[in-house]
Amino acid sequence: MANNNRYIDVLQSAQQMYANIRSDLFERLLCDRLGWNKTDFILHAQKLATPEHQKQFEKDVERLVSGEPLQYIVGCEWFYGRCFTVNPQVLIPRPETELLVEEVLHISRRKQRPLNIVDIGTGSGAIGVTLALESKKDNVTITDISKTALQVAKCNAQQLGAGVHCVESDVFDGVDERLGTFDIIVSNPPYISESEQHLMDESVLMHEPHLALFAKDNGLAIYEKILHQANDYLSKDGIIVLEIGFSQANDIRRLSQFYFPKKSVRVIKDYAQLDRLVIIE
């Protein structure tokens, strides 16, 4: 890329050079790195790119072309209208997980009173932090088995102004009983079978934490542990909301009915009409 180009020239040069990569990724790469929104880009597009910005963009493009996720390059991902810090210690939040947040918020509004909510395996904190910000009447605890992941979640909570209680824990193993029972247990746990690694996108396999992706027993191990331990931590009329893999609904329904025979179990589909959530209430 030549020096003294305009920002639009720098962007278009990369898009033309790597036409096999979605062009919008380059625009986001440039804008997220510089802290610009779409309007900022329009206003700056015809201005000369500074040497520092151009050099940084060239480095970022090299990383993107090598297969590194854009979110790790720029250090953030948008979730429910907020920018969450992410790094290779945490899974990149997916847009379909916003459906889980919507369902929990709907339950919270229905209950009206303040609720105790726990987000098991919080990762970046996207779920728990969002719930704390969107439903300020509720008390939210976030947990993760990974100390480094929990540090990222704490950072996001502080940056976004969310009051959450952070606990390093393998499911409920490290949760203090003095926190009481929970009205809602929510989790998007690792649910991909270890035998399905060959079906995964190479970029995900190479860069995202396997601890947050894969689980034993055909991807069901963490679900079973959550459901088994939840009996001791769920309030009398408590509700469990789980994100699931699209082919796991029947297995998780059976597990749910085994551990909670007196509760109803329903499955919610996402916008692609794939099974996405299991609600136990």
- Is 1 a residue whose pLDDT tops 60? no
**Under CATH, what is the fold of the domain 76-280?**
Rossmann fold (3.40.50)
Higher pLDDT, 239 or 197: 239
* E-assigned strand segments in the chain: 76-79, 82-85, 116-120, 139-144, 164-168, 182-187, 192-193, 214-215, 234-243, 265-269, 275-280
Confidence grade of residue 208 (pLDDT, cut at 50, 70, 90): confident
Partners of 280 in beta bridges? 240, 265
In SS3 terms, 34-88 reads as HCCCHHHHHHHCCCECCHHHHHHHHHHHHHHHCCCCHHHHHCEEEECCEEEECCC
Instruction: Check whether 79 has a pLDDT greater than 50.
Output: yes
Share of the chain above pLDDT 70, in %: 99
Point out the least confidently predicted range of 19-33, 175-189, 199-213, 229-243.
Answer: 199-213
Predicted confidence at residue 80, as pLDDT, reads 98
Report the pLDDT value the prediction gives residue 25, as an integer from 0 to 100: 96
Is pLDDT above 90 for 211? no
d(CA 164, CA 154): 8
pLDDT number for residue 3: 66
Position 177 scores a pLDDT of 82
Distant-in-sequence contacts of 73-80, Cβ < 8 A, 24+ apart? 73/29, 73/33, 74/28, 74/29, 74/32, 74/33, 76/32, 77/124, 77/126, 79/124, 79/126, 79/130, 80/126, 80/130, 80/134
Question: In the numeric block, which tokens belong to residue 279?
Answer: 């609600």
- pLDDT band of residue 100 (cuts 50, 70, 90) is very high
Segment 35-48 mean pLDDT: 95
Q: Where are the domains of the chain?
A: 7-66, 76-280
Percent of the chain with pLDDT over 90: 85
C-alpha to C-alpha distance for 239 and 234, rounded to whole angstroms: 8
pLDDT tens sequence across 60-72: 999 999 999 999 9
pLDDT, tens digit, 9 for 90 and up, residues 217-273: 778 899 999 999 999 999 999 999 999 998 999 999 999 999 999 999 999 999 999
Give how far Cα 275 sits from Cα of 186, 226, 243, Å. Answer: 17, 19, 9
Per-residue pLDDT, averaged over 45-55, amounts to 95
Q: What angle do CA 45, 46, 50 make, to 5 degrees?
A: 80
pLDDT tens per residue across span 127-177: 999 999 999 999 999 999 999 999 999 999 999 999 999 999 999 999 988
